[in-house]
Structure 1
Amino acid sequence: MWEIILLVLGGLGLFLFAINNLSATLSALLGDKAKKWLGYFTKTIFSAILTGTVITTILDSSSAVIIMTVVLVNAGALTFRQSMGIVMGANIGTTFSSQLIALDIGQYSPIPIFLGLMFSLFSKSEQVSSTGKVMLYFGILFFGLYTMERAVGPLKDDPAFLTWMEKLDSPLRGTAVGALVTLVIQSSSATVGMVITLAKKGLLNLGGGIAVMIGAELGTCSDTLLATIRSDRQAVKTGVFHLFFNMISIALGLLIFPLFVGLIEQVSGNASLEQKIANAHMAFNTTGVLLFIPLAPLIENLLNRLLPATGKQRQAAAA
């Protein structure tokens, strides 16, 4: 059992290391271009959602995109209204990584690791070297998942573990576990990755996997809210909107949980269990965004009343 725990921790460590460095490397590679794109393509709610989706898909981290948005709002480069669309788009963008994780490509991860290492070490071009690092971190990310997948295999024969996993069928219990795990490891992508890994090994059923995935959406709000500490009220409203969006989506998801699980089962057909969970992740976040789009002006007015701009902020907005 200790060997399994150590291997899972090692795989999770590699995954988190890759996620953090991948986001930082891509941000550095894009430079100020990403910030300019955020400003150029967030004029309407729809363009802001699309921009948030694209940038999150590229950076593979909704938290990184939302935190960057909070920083830009705090700096006055973006308005709160623009940030709402980006936050919703980031929730869609993060589902593409779960689709990628559901593909069984972990066994090929040494290839991008080797190629990325060669490019980053031996290329004299900064651009090529940075691109090599991106390849390297992508390889490490999937190797971490592959390590966890191999580690949890023996748990199929552990009655105590199987009994505990069966309890995750309860929507509330599964959601609480997903939120807690994400709160601890500070990565909803890692939580969803672990869920898909357990599903691949037959250790988690569809209902339990969806419940934990839903909980991960709540846990990911913590680092966004931390980013708003010592920020102005416009930036704070961005963090509060992210929390509000996720809490309402989760409440609705839990309210129709059996129907949602049945719908995913029906729509996914003969797809593998891990693919069904990835489909559920995409359907859940996309549906949440579609429901929130018409409500965005009302929510904006509500948060403006709850957290009105200070005198200095009103003067800056008028200027």
Structure 2
Amino acid sequence: MDTAARTLVSPARLRRPGARRVYWAIVALVVLLFTVVFTGPLYWMVTGALKSGPEVAQIPPTLYPQHPQPGNYAEAWTALSLGRLLLNTVWYAFGALAFQLVFDVAAAYAFSKLRPAFGNALLGLMLATLMIPSTVLVIPQYVTVIDLPLVHWNMLDSPWAIWLPAVTNAFNIFLLKRFFDSIPQDLMSAAAIDGAGPLRTLWSVVLPISRPILGVVSIFSLTAIWKDFLWPLLVEPSADNRTVNVGIYAFSQGLTQNVVIAGAVIAAVPTVVFFLIFQKNIMSGLTAGSLKG
């Protein structure tokens, strides 16, 4: 049986004269094109932060700073109060992550292994929310935040206004459930024979082998809170509680464009560095559990 991997171009075609050169030329061109498309905005942002105000507004724009001004970053840090904004964002992001790891893992474990009554129907309804545009849900979520049902609690200007809505993440629950589905039932049965209950099995058996997918969910959770703008703008109106994106928008009045761009660069650095460090974990976590057997 031929187990060779199938490719877009067959090996026989690549062995023709000049075919390999054309193939690799096309591959290099496509890679270069996508590199320019994806890194172009980042390059413009970083170089724009080093330009003077008139040079940033110049048309056509310059490809690199004529007279670099690294002091723009220091000015942005002070004028935009980026230290406090970053601390606020870290607090919101890791708080939301903690709640998601507790409740989303519990929900996915219940759907996958405990099989509650009407579990498939509930999961289907939960996944159906992924088809609803997020902007449609802004008004009902905001009404809920300003008057939490039953307890009538106004959560505006508190971390709970960001933490609690972040828990209801159907996509993360689906990712976790798919991974839990791939865990062999023999492990679950062995834990039950040893006297472990559902919670002990989750803690001692399921979670230790679920680190890849937990890493992916953590990365998605942190970046979602970090890059969000509309929801924090609505629920954190106080200047002391703003996230970094909202703070840059609010404090940018009266500042030159190059200083604002420098602030945006500083705000983007943590997520870019975080991705570069854990990009292998993202790919391994997304593919883990996709094959059973």
**TM-score, normalized by length of structure 1?**
0.27
Please state which structure has a larger fraction of its residues in helix: 1
If asked which structure has higher relative contact order (CA below 8 Å, sep 6+), I would say 2
**TM-score, normalized by length of structure 2?**
0.29
- The structure having more radius of gyration, on CA atoms, is 2
